[in-house]
Amino acid sequence: MKFKDILKLVWALTPFILVVLGLLSIVVASFLVAIALGWLILGLALIVVGYILSPKQDKSE
């Protein structure tokens, strides 16, 4: 894999990386507020990441 291909891959994954970092910052902030709230937000963040990564069904018929 050439360096140019790696840069294209990183550029394509940039929105996903930013979403994950944003969710991570929210999780850390909620852990600082309360432990139970932190676990709740962590679970919700994992569900959101799973939804983003799940394969989408093609609706065209």
Which residues of the chain fall below pLDDT 70? 59-61
8 Rama class: left (phi>0) / alpha (psi -120 to 50) / beta: alpha
How many Å apart are CA 4 and CA 42, to the nearest integer? Answer: 35
Predicted confidence at residue 59, as pLDDT, reads 67
